[in-house]
Amino acid sequence: MIRNERMTVVHQAKIAHNIFELTLQGELVQDMAPGQFVHVRVGDSFEPLLRRPISIANINKDMNEFTMIYRAEGRGTELLSKKQVGDTADILGPIGNGFPVDAAAPGSTALLVGGGIGVPPLYELAKQLNARGVQTIHVLGFQSENVAFYEEQFSAFGETHYVTADGTKGTKGFVTNLLDERKPEFDVFYSCGPLPMLKALEVQFPDKEGYLSFEERMACGIGACFACVCNTTEAVEKDYVKVCSDGPVFPKGVVAL
Amino acid sequence: MSRINIELPGLQLKNPIMPASGCFGFGREYAQLYDLSKLGAIMIKATTVETRRGNPTPRVAETAAGMLNAIGLQNPGLDKVLAEELPFLEAYDVPIIANVAGTEIADYVEVAERISQAPNVHALELNISCPNVKCGGIQFGTDPATAQQLVEAVKAVSTVPVYVKLSPNVTNIADIAKAVEAGGADGITMINTLIGMRLHEKTGKPVIANGTGGLSGPAVKPVAIRMVYEVYKNVTIPIIGMGGVTNAQDVIDFMSAGASAVAVGTANFVDHFVCPNIIEALPSKLDELGVEHISEIIGRSHR
- Interchain contact A240–B (C-beta under 8 A): yes
Rounded CA-CA distance B1/B96 in Å is: 24
CATH of domain A3-95: 2.40.30.10
End-to-end CA distance of chain B: 26
Residue A1 pLDDT level (bands cut at 50, 70, 90): confident
- pLDDT exceeds 80 at position B265: yes
The yes/no answer on whether domain A101-209 falls in CATH 3.40.50.1220 is no
B267 min Cα distance to partner chain A (Å)? 9
Q: Class for domain B6-54+72-193+217-302, per CATH?
A: alpha beta
Nearest to B24 among A48, A224, A229 (CB): A224
B50 contacts on A by Cβ (under 8 Å) = none
Q: Is B51 among the annotated ligand-binding positions?
A: no
For residue A108, pLDDT over 70 is answered with: yes
Query: Between A and B, how many CB-CB pairs are < 8 A?
Result: 96
**pLDDT averaged over every residue in chain B:** 95
- Position B136 scores a pLDDT of 59
Calpha distance B89→B35 (Å, rounded) = 11
pLDDT band at residue B135 using 50, 70 and 90 as cut-offs: low
Q: Is the pLDDT of residue B130 over 90?
A: no
User: How distant is the alpha carbon of residue B131 from its chain centre?
Assistant: 14
Interface mutation target, options A4, A49, A244, A255, chain B, most CBs of B under 10 Å: A49
Domain positions in chain B are 6-54+72-193+217-302
Say if B99 is an interface residue toward chain A (CB within 8 Å): no
Among B26, B36, B57, most A C-beta atoms within 10 A, so best to mutate, is B57
Amino acid in the structure at residue A121: P
Nearest to A224 among B30, B59, B69 (CB): B30
B265, B269, B273, B274: CA torsion to nearest 10: -40
pTM of the prediction? 0.95
Is the pLDDT at B138 greater than 90? The verdict is no
Q: Is the pLDDT of residue B194 over 90?
A: yes
Among the partner-chain residues B59, B66, B271, the one whose CB lies closest to the CB of A227 is B59
Q: What is the mean pLDDT of residues B10-37?
A: 97
CA distance A49 to chain B (A): 6
- Residue pair B47/B99 in contact by the 8 Å Cβ criterion: yes
Looking at the predicted structure, is the pLDDT value of residue A210 above 70? yes
A17-66 tens-digit pLDDT: 999 999 999 999 999 999 999 999 999 999 999 999 999 999 999 999 99
Residue B140: the pLDDT is 84
Q: Which amino acid is at B84?
A: E
The reported pLDDT for the residue numbered B297 is: 97
DSSP states along B240-254 = EE-SS--SHHHHHHH
pLDDT digit string (tens) for A152-171?
999 999 999 999 999 999 99
A227–B57 C-beta distance less than 8 A: yes
Q: What's the average model confidence in pLDDT over B263-274?
A: 98
- pLDDT band with cut points at 50, 70 and 90 for residue B137: low
| pLDDT score recorded for residue B139 | 72
Task: Just list the catalytic residues of B.
Answer: 130
Verify cis geometry, omega within 30 degrees of 0, for the bond prior to B119.
no
- Which residues from B are below 8 Å from A219, CB to CB? 60, 67, 69, 266, 269
Residue B273: its chain A contacts at CB < 8 A? 4
Q: Which of A225, A2, A226, A26 is nearest to B34 (CA)?
A: A2
Averaged pLDDT, B293-303? 97
Is it the case that residue A117 has pLDDT exceeding 90? Answer: yes
The rounded distance, in Å, linking the Cα atoms of A123 and A103 is 17
Beta strands in B17-174 (DSSP E): 17-19, 42-47, 60-63, 66-69, 96-100, 121-127, 162-165
- Quote the minimal CA–CA distance from A87 to chain B in Å: 19
Q: Tell me the pLDDT band of A238, cut-offs 50, 70 and 90.
A: confident
**B59, B69, B201, B245: best to mutate for the A interface, most A CBs within 10 A:** B59
Going by pLDDT thresholds of 50, 70 and 90, the confidence category of residue B62 is very high
| B145-178 residues labelled b (16+ CB within 10 A) or e (exposed) | ebbbebbebbbebbebbbbbbbbbbbeebbebbb
Provide, as residue numbers in chain B, all residues whose Cβ is less than 8 Å from the Cβ of A1: 32
Q: How confident is the model at residue A99 (pLDDT cuts 50, 70, 90)?
A: very high
CATH superfamily assigned to domain A216-257: Dihydroorotate dehydrogenase, electron transfer subunit (2.10.240.10)
A51 to chain B, minimum CA–CA distance in Å? 6
User: Which of 174-193 (A) contact B at CB < 8 A?
Assistant: none
pLDDT at A34: 98
Domain spans in chain A, listed from the N-terminal domain onward? 3-95, 101-209, 216-257
The predicted pLDDT at position B132 comes to 63
Q: Is the pLDDT assigned to residue B278 strictly greater than 70?
A: yes
A-chain residues near B25 (CB < 8 A): 223-226
ipTM of the complex: 0.93
pLDDT at B129 (0 to 100): 78
